[in-house]
């Protein structure tokens, strides 16, 4: 799940935007006209270099002209929703979702409280740091500064990874009982940071390719642990993770340092996307926590997590479709009430399609369970609600509504973790009903926020 599917940073300048957006004004005919407007508004070559990452005003004008033409208003009768690149969308989702199999295979039967907490912290940290790196990369590539983007992403990834290695390494050194899980957590963070770089540089297919060996041994190990010896599974998983890091380093090999003011401006906005990653990680850790502590075999754990894994992919696709429809409504609707009605209709279609696909995933997973008892039914329902919450959180974060999502999901994670870690391991039924209650509360709360806030946010964006 990458930051570009949420909100790509733009380089719009008010004076240049007015050339297209002012009623009755003729659109600019070439980059010279845009450059003249920029210079008239006080943008110099130095400003273009330090603030926008372009060598001069003319280069900035060319970039703005391309964006302004792409966003020029269209007539209502000819307006159509933008096309969604399904392949790229699914590839991005797969890069971040499928490694859960590697983590599950590497963890095995380790479910001690300290081990669970360590892994959950690593997941949250890796996703949050990864989305900060992604934003920085997209901000620089959006300005046409690809060498600077590669260098900045590499430096930020190293800046995030080194403290994680030191902290987890020290934890494992002083507590030998969780040393193995500390190594797994380090690998998890390394993969997320490396794969983020690959996705930003439009190489998700390459990242999936290097993951194939690890996935080929992880899937049978999760479904039938005795099928492959650990002496084979673990080295292959480690090799796949290391390969993603090597690929990321190769992709960043010809990077160039950006101007200091540009770097500072980009880093100032990274915090929003760090929060975005933390939001998604908070929801995913709920499913991971349930999968690690639930009584029963690993096959059942994997099957109940399968709808969530598939739901993450579907959520990114549905988010892209919703944004396309919302953009169309923004272009072609003059009345605020009518616009709100169209946004609500787009949300209903988005959630409706997602619900249908999620039910299909749950039915497929449930049909693969040999003995479907009542506890398993509750956990399947909870996983479906968690997937629904994931889509609602994506919709909110896509419009920079990060704080409420962090608050709601944080409360859910703390409550779920406290029931197991503080009160002691409950029964299978208590686990299932508690999981269902937390996921249901999250789904209802986030959906209400989406329904109430998104029309107003879309109008003012």
Residues 187-214 pLDDT 10s:
889 988 998 898 888 888 888 888 888 8
6, HSE (Cβ side, Cα atoms, 13 Å)? 30
What is the spatial distance between Cα 85 and Cα 90, in angstroms, rounded to a whole number? Answer: 9
Rounded to two decimals, what is the model's pTM?
0.67
Q: Report the pLDDT value the prediction gives residue 404, as an integer from 0 to 100.
A: 85
Sign of CA dihedral 223, 228, 229, 234: negative
Give me the mean pLDDT over the 441-451 stretch.
Answer: 91
The average confidence (pLDDT) of the chain is 74
Task: For 359-408, list the strands marked E by DSSP.
Answer: none
Residues 55-94 pLDDT 10s:
777 777 777 777 655 544 443 444 444 455 656 666 666 6
- 255 pLDDT above the threshold of 70: yes
What is the spatial distance between Cα 134 and Cα 110, in angstroms, rounded to a whole number? Answer: 32
Residue 244 has which token pair?
Answer: 């993603």
151 Cβ neighbours under 8 A, 6+ residues apart: 252, 255, 256, 257, 258
Q: Report phi then psi at 119, rounded to 5.
A: -70, -40
- Per the CB < 8 A criterion, the answer to whether 373 and 380 are in contact is no
Residue 126 has which token pair?
Answer: 């890796």
Q: What one-character-per-residue DSSP string does 198-260 give?
A: HHHTT-HHHHHHHHHHHHHHHHHHHH-TTSS-HHHHHHHHHHHHHHHHHHHHHHTTT--PPPH
233 Cβ neighbours under 8 A, 6+ residues apart: 105, 106, 217, 218, 221
Residues 333-392 pLDDT 10s:
766 777 788 888 888 888 888 888 878 877 777 776 667 778 778 888 888 888 888 888
Q: Report the pLDDT value the prediction gives residue 12, as an integer from 0 to 100.
A: 43
């Amino acid at each position: 799940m990458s930051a570009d599917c949420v909100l790509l940073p733009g380089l719009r300048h008010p004076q240049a935007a007015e050339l297209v957006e002012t009623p009755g004004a003729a659109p600019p005919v070439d980059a010279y006209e845009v450059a003249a407007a920029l210079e008239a508004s006080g943008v110099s070559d130095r400003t273009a270099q330090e603030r926008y990452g372009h060598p001069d005003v003319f280069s900035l004008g060319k970039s703005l002209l391309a964006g302004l033409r792409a966003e020029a208003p269209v007539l209502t009768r000819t307006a159509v929703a933008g096309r969604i690149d399904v392949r790229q969308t699914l590839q991005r989702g797969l890069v971040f979702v499928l490694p859960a199999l590697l983590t599950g295979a590497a963890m095995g039967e380790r479910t001690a409280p300290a081990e669970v907490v360590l892994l959950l912290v690593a997941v949250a940290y890796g996703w949050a740091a990864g989305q900060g790196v992604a934003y920085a990369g997209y901000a620089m590539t959006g300005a046409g500064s690809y060498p600077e983007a590669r260098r900045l992403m590499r430096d930020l990834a190293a800046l995030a990874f080194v403290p994680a290695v030191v902290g987890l390494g020290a934890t494992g050194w002083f507590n030998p009982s969780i040393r193995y899980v500390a190594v797994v957590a380090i690998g998890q963070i390394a993969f997320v940071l490396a794969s983020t770089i690959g996705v930003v540089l439009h190489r998700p297919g390459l990242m999936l390719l290097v993951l194939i060996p690890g996935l080929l041994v992880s899937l049978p190990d999760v479904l039938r642990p005795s099928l492959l010896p650990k002496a084979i599974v673990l080295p292959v998983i480690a090799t796949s993770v290391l390969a993603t890091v090597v690929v990321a380093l190769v992709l960043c090999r010809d990077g160039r340092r950006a101007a200091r003011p540009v770097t500072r401006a980009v880093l100032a906005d990274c915090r929003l996307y760090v929060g975005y990653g933390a939001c998604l990680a908070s929801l995913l850790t709920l499913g991971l926590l349930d999968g690690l502590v639930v009584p029963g075999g690993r096959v059942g754990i994997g099957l109940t997590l399968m709808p969530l894994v598939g739901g993450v992919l579907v959520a990114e696709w549905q988010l892209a479709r919703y944004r396309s429809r919302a953009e169309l409504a923004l272009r072609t609707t003059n009345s605020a009430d009518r616009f709100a009605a169209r946004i609500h209709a787009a949300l209903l279609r988005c959630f409706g399609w997602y619900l249908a696909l999620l039910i299909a995933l749950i039915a497929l997973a449930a049909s693969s369970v040999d003995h479907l008892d009542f506890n398993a039914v509750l956990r399947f329902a909870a996983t479906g609600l968690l997937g629904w919450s994931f889509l609602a959180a994506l919709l909110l974060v896509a419009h920079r509504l990060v704080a409420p999502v962090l608050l709601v999901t944080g409360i859910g994670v703390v409550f779920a973790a406290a029931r197991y870690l503080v009160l002691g391991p409950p029964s299978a039924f208590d686990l299932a009903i508690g999981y269902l209650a937390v996921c249901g509360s999250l789904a209802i709360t986030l959906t209400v926020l989406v329904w109430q806030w998104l029309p107003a946010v879309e109008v003012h964006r």
